[in-house]
């Protein structure tokens, strides 16, 4: 059974992690203090040790306390959770977090026991080496396991209970990712016949057969995918699954109403789910983000002043008309504002401009404008919008009033994006949804950002804006 395999894999991870921690620690000591690495000191890659150096044995003795504490930190940083569906970025982030906490722990212990002669730089070298070696090990194991799962080994056997759009979505995702290693045996449903199937997954009977099927002990997991009008059966299904001791998960059929990570509160033992949670509705989060916006926009305006002046001169020389193009957009709390851009198109009638969307090879775009739009240079004046508070560095892109009125009638939840400041760049843009692309996909990205905002996500989007492959895709 897969549960036994997971326990064995976790035990292997713990043992190998302990070895890597000890190995990284010894290598860090050697790199910092032994003459073998003296060229690194001569080339000033690392500074020479100063003052009294404690004996090597004193450092080795610390491993007795260091290794167990690091393994505990790894556990609380989710490094021993099942990783079938987790990304490399998540694994790397958890490792970075664990090693930062580990270094803080070491420094704190040395401070409280008043041991001042342990080299602080040594701890930094140890943390970096441990992070790199452990990440390589985990990615190697992950790659091997994914290849095995694609080949039909190390599979997790699943039975779905309930045929619904959620069941179809779940099957779709598992089919796209065979490396996750999920094998669906079939679906139980009270309204479908055994002749029905979805993408090769058959309906094998009705829900009343669940208890008998679980007695075969052939399933690692039961996924409850009932349609929303059958939730009355949920309690009895969970009772049957728990009686059989099988791992059960519930995939609700209301994900179009409630976000992926709903915000919940406990009202004296009564769980309450908030239909919409916007992290930036917090005064603290909003203040932090606004501070970064002000500092970032000021910094951008200072370092980009000369390039922006050069662009302005080129526009003036190559095309008649104003340098800055002002356009009404809808921002925070549905309030209109004037958004600034370098003019990249020929001057046109205002009434036509409000309703027209830029398309590929649009004849209205000037030669220099095509380059500016492709490289996002035309967006630089929006740093002034950010400084004024109309916009943020990161957020959903603002839309024109004409399209806002149009989309709010045909796209559910469209107006939720206006609960945060619009941005110069956003999650939709770094995923390639800009210009003449699917507005539905764009709004899905915008809603994900609104509901899952963190500073880390903002920094990630800014990084992908400059270095990602998709940000200039569909920029006409």
Residues 129-173 have pLDDT tens digits of 999 999 999 999 889 988 988 888 888 899 999 999 899 999 999
Burial status of residue 52 (CB atoms within 10 A of its CB: 0-12, 13-18, 19 or more) = exposed
Sequence-distant (≥ 6) Cβ neighbours of residue 267 within 8 angstroms: none
Selected residue with higher pLDDT from 285 and 47: 285
At 476 the pLDDT is 47
Of 93, 116, 150, the position where a domain reaches its end is 150
For residues 198 and 330, membership in a common domain is answered with: no
pLDDT in tens, 218-227: 888 999 999 8
Give the C-alpha separation, 442 to 423, whole Å.
Answer: 14
| pLDDT at residue 355 tops 70 | no
How many structural domains is the chain composed of? Answer: 3
Question: What's the average model confidence in pLDDT over 65-72?
Answer: 89
Contact 400, 328 (CB under 8 A): yes
At 52 the pLDDT is 45
Determine, yes or no, domain membership for 116: yes
For residues 215 and 289, membership in a common domain is answered with: no
For residues 40 and 128, membership in a common domain is answered with: yes
Of 210, 237, 255, the position where a domain reaches its end is 255
Pseudo-torsion of CA 100, 106, 107, 112, nearest 10°? 140
At 41 the pLDDT is 45
pLDDT in tens, 69-119: 999 999 998 888 877 777 788 888 889 999 999 888 877 776 666 555 556
Instruction: Check residue 399 and report its DSSP letter.
Output: B
Selected residue with higher pLDDT from 263 and 355: 263
Determine, yes or no, domain membership for 269: no
At 316 the pLDDT is 85
Give the C-alpha separation, 123 to 126, whole Å.
Answer: 5
At 392 the pLDDT is 96
For residues 165 and 302, membership in a common domain is answered with: no
The per-residue pLDDT of the chain, averaged, comes to 83
- What CATH number does the domain containing 206 carry? 3.40.50.20
Work out the end-to-end distance of the chain between its first and last CA atoms, rounded to an integer number of angstroms. 53
For residues 23 and 112, membership in a common domain is answered with: yes
At 51 the pLDDT is 47
Give the C-alpha separation, 265 to 431, whole Å.
Answer: 32
For residues 49 and 25, membership in a common domain is answered with: yes
> 55-69, 292-306, 387-401 — which is least confidently predicted?
55-69
For residues 93 and 133, membership in a common domain is answered with: yes
Q: In terms of pTM, does the model score above 0.75?
A: no
Give the C-alpha separation, 30 to 37, whole Å.
Answer: 8
Of all residues in the chain, the percent with pLDDT exceeding 90 is 38
> 194-198, 318-322, 350-354 — which is least confidently predicted?
350-354
At 299 the pLDDT is 95
Contact 99, 24 (CB under 8 A): no
Determine, yes or no, domain membership for 278: no
At 350 the pLDDT is 60
Q: What domain range is 141 assigned to?
A: 2-150
For residues 238 and 335, membership in a common domain is answered with: no
Of 236, 255, 274, the position where a domain reaches its end is 255
Determine, yes or no, domain membership for 298: yes
């Amino acid at each position: 059974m897969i549960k036994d395999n997971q326990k064995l894999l976790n035990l292997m991870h713990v043992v190998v992690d302990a070895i890597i921690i000890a190995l990284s620690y010894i290598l860090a000591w050697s790199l910092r203090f032994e003459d073998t690495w003296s060229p690194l000191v001569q080339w000033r890659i690392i500074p020479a040790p100063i003052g009294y150096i404690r004996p090597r044995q004193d450092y080795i003795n610390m491993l007795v306390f260091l290794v167990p504490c690091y393994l505990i930190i790894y556990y609380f940083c989710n490094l021993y959770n099942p990783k079938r569906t987790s990304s490399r970025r998540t694994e790397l982030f958890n490792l970075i977090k664990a090693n930062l906490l580990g270094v803080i722990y070491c420094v704190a212990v040395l401070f409280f026991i008043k041991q001042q002669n342990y080299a602080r730089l040594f701890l930094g070298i140890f943390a970096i080496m441990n992070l790199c070696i452990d990440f390589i090990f985990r990615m190697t194991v992950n790659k091997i396991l994914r290849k095995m799962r694609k080949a039909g080994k190390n599979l997790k056997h699943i039975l779905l209970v309930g045929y619904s759009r959620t069941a179809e979505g779940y099957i779709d995702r598992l089919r796209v990712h065979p490396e996750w290693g999920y094998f669906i045996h079939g679906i139980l449903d009270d309204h479908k016949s055994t002749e029905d199937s979805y993408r090769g997954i058959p309906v094998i009977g009705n829900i009343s057969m669940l208890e008998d099927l679980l007695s075969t002990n052939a399933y690692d997991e039961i996924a409850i995918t009932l349609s929303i009008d059958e939730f009355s059966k949920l309690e009895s299904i969970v009772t049957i699954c728990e009686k059989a001791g099988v791992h059960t998960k519930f995939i609700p059929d209301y994900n179009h109403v409630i976000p992926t990570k709903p915000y919940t509160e406990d009202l004296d033992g009564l769980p309450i789910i908030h239909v919409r949670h916007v992290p930036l509705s917090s005064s603290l989060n909003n203040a932090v983000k606004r501070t970064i916006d002000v500092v970032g926009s000021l910094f951008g305006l200072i370092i980009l002043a000369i390039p922006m002046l050069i662009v302005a001169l080129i526009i003036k020389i190559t095309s008649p008309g104003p340098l800055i193009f002002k356009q009404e957009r809808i921002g925070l709390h549905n309030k209109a504002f004037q958004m600034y851009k370098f003019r990249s198109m020929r001057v046109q009638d205002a009434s036509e401009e409000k309703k027209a969307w830029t398309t590929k090879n649009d004849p209205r775009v000037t030669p220099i404008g095509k380059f500016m739009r492709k490289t996002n240079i035309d967006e630089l004046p929006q740093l002034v919008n950010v400084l004024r508070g109309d916009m943020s560095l990161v957020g959903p892109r603002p839309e024109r009033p004409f399209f806002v009125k149009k989309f709010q009638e045909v796209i559910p939840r469209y107006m939720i994006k206006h609960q945060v400041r619009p941005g110069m760049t956003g999650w939709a843009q770094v995923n390639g949804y800009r210009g003449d692309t699917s507005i539905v996909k764009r709004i899905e990205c915008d809603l994900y950002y609104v509901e899952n905002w963190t500073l880390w996500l903002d920094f990630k989007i800014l990084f992908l804006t400059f270095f990602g492959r998709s940000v200039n895709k569909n920029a006409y």
